[in-house]
């Protein structure tokens, strides 16, 4: 029997609403932001991701380790080129370091690395 259930990822960031809207658009999930703007979330039947405001947030420095990435999100896509164009259109930045051919590394608006992975 499990000790706990229903895990959630929480990303530190300077603007939880902005990041919730970004990942909501990327995944097709609906974002919501707390009244004070300190927390936001996106949720679907498949899970949830939460975002919390950190005033002194420093974006990860991937692949360097001066500010480690600590965690990242991988999402599956059918077509890398189409998904890249759509992801850039909603505010992502393509990272200059691309270590593979079956996935592409991007940075979300707060600087967290994430990957689009060809299924």
Which sign, positive or negative, has the C-alpha torsion 11, 13, 17, 22? negative
Q: If you average pLDDT over residues 27-45, what whole number do you get?
A: 94
- Sort strands 47-53 and 39-44 into parallel, antiparallel or unpaired: antiparallel
Q: Are 73 and 87 in contact (CB under 8 A)?
A: no
Q: What residue ranges do the domains of the chain occupy? A: 9-55+64-118
Contact 75, 117 (CB under 8 A): yes
Q: Which CATH superfamily is domain 9-55+64-118 in?
A: 2,3-Dihydroxybiphenyl 1,2-Dioxygenase, domain 1 (3.10.180.10)
- Work out the average pLDDT over 113-117: 93
In this predicted model, which residue has the larger pLDDT, 119 or 63? 63
Q: Among 1-10, 82-91, 100-109, which is the least confidently predicted range?
A: 1-10
d(CA 115, CA 101): 11
Task: List, for residues 77-91, the tens digit of each pLDDT value.
Answer: 999 999 999 999 999
């Amino acid at each position: 029997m499990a000790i706990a259930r229903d895990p959630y990822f929480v990303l530190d960031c300077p603007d939880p609403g902005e990041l919730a809207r970004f990942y909501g658009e990327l995944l097709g999930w609906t974002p919501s932001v707390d009244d004070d703007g300190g927390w936001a979330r996106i949720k679907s039947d498949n899970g949830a991701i939460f975002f919390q405001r950190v005033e002194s947030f420093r974006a990860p420095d991937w692949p360097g380790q001066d500010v480690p990435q600590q965690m990242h999100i991988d999402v599956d896509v059918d077509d890398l080129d189409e998904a890249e164009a759509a992801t850039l259109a909603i505010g992502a930045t393509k990272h200059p370091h691309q270590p593979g051919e079956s996935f592409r590394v991007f940075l979300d608006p707060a600087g967290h690395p994430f990957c689009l992975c060809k299924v």
